[in-house]
Amino acid sequence: MIDTIIIDGLTFALPMFIMAVGGIFSEKSGITNLAVEGLQGFGAFTGALVMVIMMNSMGNGTQVPYYMSFVAAALGGMLYALVHVILCVKFNGNQVISGVVVNILAMSLTSFLTRRINADFFGQTSNKFILETSIRFDVPVLSGIPVLGAAFTSVYPFEILIIVVAIIAWYVMYRTPYGMHLRACGDNPHAADAAGIDVKKVRTVAVVLSGGLSAIGGMSYAYSISANFSPDIYLGFGYLAIAALIFGNWSILPTLGACLLFGFARSSGQAIIQKLGMPSTFNDLVRTLPYVVTLLLLVFFSKNNRSPRALGEIYDKGKR
């Protein structure tokens, strides 16, 4: 039972974590990003479409479509993030409203496009892109460790990808000039501008990166939760990622801890239901556990939050 909790918890937590890292990049630059839900969904749509096309042309005997789907998802998420950039950075629109609009547009647009593409090109009436089941593997030696070895058992390839990308993101954030400029733009954009930093350029790059990272998380959920892309991909995981980064005080490592907490809350509930032999209808109740944990954490720990000082503020270069 403990092994199942760890395996399933990591499978749920790591995609959420990379989405939260994307949110951190955007919000550290000063752009509120409630659009994570829409970015992960549109990215997953793009990746799933490429996966289906490549499977039809190459067959099921190769893993190339699987890995290319993540590349396509990241590119799709980055491209779609430009909508948020145009509204918030270019036209100085309200960032909260922009995020909501991006989410709603993504849900409607991907649902429409999925149906039309299936009907026009594949002769189907489905609103889903059926994906090939992802391979899983055990890490030699490490998977044999009692209890902790479960973290290295039945591993999805995307879990390794997420860890690698997260390490790179941490390095960019805290060890590069761009990361320093990004954090400066989120705390005091006028001082950053006076120092010669192009605030709008830094914020544009940050939001675009946020789209790519969120899309990786969305593609991961498409493979692990349902093995397809459909409107069901919009289950609130993007909002959970936002809650995780808030609880993690906009820092990458504490945010990982928050995501793991949400992931293990979900997998623990599912394991208990299976152990007690309860009806499958209780699975819907279990899905609420991460949200309940979120509410409790925000109630007790929100007083200690230290958001970027200029988060959500419209940057006007003429005002100093």
- Please report, to the nearest 10 degrees, the dihedral formed by the alpha carbons of residues 45, 61, 220, 52 taken in order: 10
- The band of 292, judged by pLDDT with boundaries at 50, 70 and 90, is confident
CA distances from 299 to 249, 303, 312 (A): 14, 8, 22
Residue 135 structure tokens = 């391979």
pLDDT tens, position by position, 164-196: 999 999 999 999 999 999 999 999 999 999 999
pLDDT at 132: 79
Q: What's the average model confidence in pLDDT over 279-303? A: 71
State how far the Cα of 167 lies from the Cα of 151, in Å rounded to an integer: 18
DSSP of 220-266: HHIIIIISEESGGG-SSHHHHHHHHHHHTTT-HHHHHHHHHHHHHHH
pLDDT at 281: 65
Q: What's the average model confidence in pLDDT over 1-10? A: 85
Buried b (16+ CB within 10 A) or exposed e, 91-100: eeeebeebbe
- Greatest CA span in the chain, whole angstroms? 64
Cβ atoms 265, 257 nearer than 8 A:
no
Strands 228-229 and 129-130: antiparallel
* φ and ψ at residue 133, rounded to 5 degrees: -65, 130
130: which strand partners?
A: 228
State how far the Cα of 17 lies from the Cα of 260, in Å rounded to an integer: 8
Cβ atoms 292, 167 nearer than 8 A:
no
Query: To the nearest whole number, what is the mean pLDDT of the chain?
Result: 89
Question: By percentage, how much of the chain surpasses pLDDT 70?
Answer: 94
CA distances from 54 to 35, 66, 67, 224, 274 (A): 29, 9, 11, 19, 37
Question: By percentage, how much of the chain surpasses pLDDT 90?
Answer: 56
pLDDT at 297 over 80: no
- Amino acid at the residue 48: A
Instruction: Please tell me whether residue 130 adopts helix, strand or coil conformation.
Output: strand
Residue located via tokens 């396509």? 72
- The band of 295, judged by pLDDT with boundaries at 50, 70 and 90, is confident
Cβ atoms 63, 135 nearer than 8 A:
yes
**Residue 153 half-sphere exposure, CB side, CA atoms within 13 Å?**
16
113's enclosing H/E stretch is: helix 95-121
Domain ranges in the chain are 2-134+152-304
pLDDT at 224 over 80: yes
Q: Decide which of 217 and 269 is more confident.
A: 217
Q: What is the separation, in whole angstroms, between the first and last Cα of the chain?
A: 58
pLDDT at 290: 77
pLDDT tens, position by position, 115-173: 999 998 888 888 889 887 788 888 888 888 887 888 888 899 999 999 999 999 999 99
Does the domain at 2-134+152-304 match CATH 3.40.1710? Answer given as no
